[in-house]
Amino acid sequence: MTFLSRSVLLVTLVTMSSAQAQTDPKIDQIINEGKYHSQVMNHLTYISKNIGPRLTGSPRLYKAQQWAVNKFKQLGLKNVHLEKWGEVPVGWDRAGLQVAKMVEPFESDMVFTMSAWSNGTKGIVKAEVVKAPETAEQLEKVKANLKGKWILFPGSAGGRGGFSSIPAEVSDAIDASGIAGRIYGSRNELVITSGSWTGKTYEAHPGVTRITVRKSDYDRLARNIDFGRHVVVAIGSEGTWYKGPIPQYNVVADIPGTEKPDEFVIVSGHYDSWNGPGSEGTCDNGTGSSTAIEAARILMKSGAKPKRTIRFILWSGEEQGIYGSSNYVKLHPELLPKISAVLVDDGGTGYQGGYDCIASQLPILDAAIAPVAKAFPDLPMKNRVHEKMPQGGGSDHAPFNRIGVPGFFTIESGDADYNFVHHTQFDNLEQARPNYLIQSATNHAVVSYTLANLPDLLPREAQKQ
Ligand SMILES: [Zn+2]
């Protein structure tokens, strides 16, 4: 090493240490805890494997919420409770038999799903498959022959894919003829679960069983029918109904602020999930729930004492219409002027690559993420400036942005394929990326702590009256 380079190094060291003197040393401690002592995968493993999918209104979601309450209490958070946002008219969960296979002309397993809050089979229903008549004339010819059969419908039962083009009166007449149920095909090898409690009660939940199988399974059934073969399937898809109305909750837990306890930074994600066969509700959104829980753990373990309250919220009812967060906004008009920011992690198992924000927020958010970007150099981060805060997008940031409280859906980054897991049979723990989630939880902790310690609330958009 030459003298010259040594003096350059010395200058650099002096500059760095004076810059560091301006940052809170607590940030280093938070990053150290988050990066090297992470428990985020422990939380996610419990949620995915010990509890499993968490449909809103189901006992499994309530069990998961109680587990989270206990976890937040163990971590030493305050004001830990379930906060009611509303109720669902009737509960439902997948339970019992979940099997589907072609048994004639040869045996072949099928991968399938059935919408939530829909009528399943009672036991295994083994019956012939016939194609649905598509016009009134076709219906007239085959009407007497539909009873007890599985009817193969063109198109998808819903979710991502087209809908059947069969006229409603033909479609209704098919159901009215005492069929075993409908079989739809997905547009690819992913089967998408959706569903709704609308119009259902414990006593009345009309509708025939509707199964969606993979495209390859659908094509196999259709091809064999076209070849004139006798095609038989055996399908058992069952669910349990729970008498409503059933109260529904968000999980709430606080690290109280030391100077401005009635001002808030919210760290959140939705805890509910779909529950199709194979799904553990891991990436949508066990991941965002686990990063929130882990951020709380990191901050408590680091002894962080934020000036404002950092409030952790695990929303529910997100999948059916963002109910948990929308109702939180409605139920708490008094809090809204005092919420600095709402961080929402709900984009799968990617890492937190930054925030979508408006220009006035950019320097603050750039400074907030800088130490995290430095600590995880392989996971680049960048905030993006927009003219307005995003009000669309189906997640829990949107209701806040609509009324002018800055809501941030973290920019989900990395190379994980969200489409592969989103509401599909592959939403399980094996798809989770530990290194991304360790970064996400650390970033949640650093950014929420930084924002909670700002002199002022984060700048927000002016609201039109
Ligand atoms: Zn979802």
Which sign, positive or negative, has the C-alpha torsion 415, 419, 422, 428?
negative
pLDDT in tens, 42-79: 999 999 999 999 999 999 999 999 999 999 999 999 99
Within the chain, which residues score under 70 in pLDDT? 1-22, 155-164, 463-465
**Measured distance CA(354)–CA(365) in Å, rounded:** 8
Query: What's the CA-to-centroid distance between 419 and ligand 1, angstroms?
Result: 11
Q: Is the CB of residue 313 less than 8 Å from the CB of residue 328?
A: yes
Q: Beta strands 210-213 and 412-413: pairing type? A: unpaired
Using alpha carbons, select from 191, 182, 159, 142 the residue that is nearest to residue 319. Answer: 159
Other C-beta atoms lying within 10 Å of the C-beta of residue 208: 15
pTM score, whole prediction: 0.92
Note whether 403 and 421 are within 8 A (CB).
no
Rounded distance from Cα 350 to ligand 1 centre (Å): 15
What is the 4 CA–ligand 1 centroid distance (Å)? 58
Which CA distances in Å does 277 have to 23, 205, 428?
48, 21, 11
Task: Give the single-character DSSP code of 276.
Answer: -
Compute, in angstroms, the gap from residue 424 CA to the centroid of ligand 1.
Answer: 10
Query: What is the structure's pLDDT at 200?
Result: 94
Ligand 1 centroid distance, CA of 284 (Å) = 5
Distance between Cα 31 and ligand 1 center (Å): 29
CB-CB contact of 159 with 187 (8 Å):
no
Nearest to 95 by CA among 48, 59, 148: 59
Q: Is 365 helix (H, G, I), strand (E, B) or coil?
A: helix
The helix (H) or strand (E) run that includes residue 83 is strand 78-104
CA of 148 to the centre of ligand 1 (A): 35
CA distance 163 to 171: 12
Supply the pLDDT for residue 166: 86
Instruction: Give the whole-angstrom CA distance, residue 169 versus residue 147.
Output: 17
Fold held by 98-242: Glucose Oxidase; domain 1 (3.50.30)
Tens digit of each residue's pLDDT (9 = 90 or more) over 305-346: 999 999 999 999 999 999 999 999 999 999 999 999 999 999
| C-alpha of residue 452 to centroid of ligand 1, in Å | 29
| Every domain range in the chain assigned CATH 3.40.630.10 | 25-89+244-452
Task: Please give the helix or strand (H or E) that residue 233 lies within, else none.
Answer: strand 232-255
For residues 195 and 117, give the distance between their C-alpha atoms in angstroms, rounded to a whole number: 6
Strand partners, 194: none
Residue 236 Cα to ligand 1 midpoint, Å, equals 25
**CA 323 to ligand 1 centroid distance, Å:** 13
The answer to whether the bond into 377 is cis (omega within 30° of 0) is: no
3-state secondary structure of 319: coil
Q: From the CA of 130, how far away is ligand 1's center (Å)?
A: 33
Phi-psi region for residue 303, left (φ > 0), alpha (ψ -120 to 50) or beta? left
Which part of the chain has CATH 3.50.30.30?
A: 98-242
pLDDT of residue 64: 98
pLDDT at 418: 96
Tokens of 187: 């547009």
Coil, strand, or helix at residue 287? Answer: helix
pLDDT of residue 23: 73
C-beta separation of 120 from 239 below 8 A: yes
Write phi, then psi, for 15 (nearest 5 degrees): -60, -45
Is residue 161 within 8 A of residue 183, CB to CB? The reply is: no
pLDDT of residue 18: 39
- CA 274 to ligand 1 centroid distance, Å: 7
Contacts of 354 (CB under 8 A, 6+ apart): 365, 369, 381, 382, 383, 384, 410, 411, 413
- CATH of region 25-89+244-452: 3.40.630.10
Q: What is the pLDDT of residue 161?
A: 41
CA 333/CA 348 separation, integer angstroms: 30
| pLDDT score recorded for residue 461 | 84
Q: Distance from the CA of 285 to the center of ligand 1, in angstroms?
A: 7
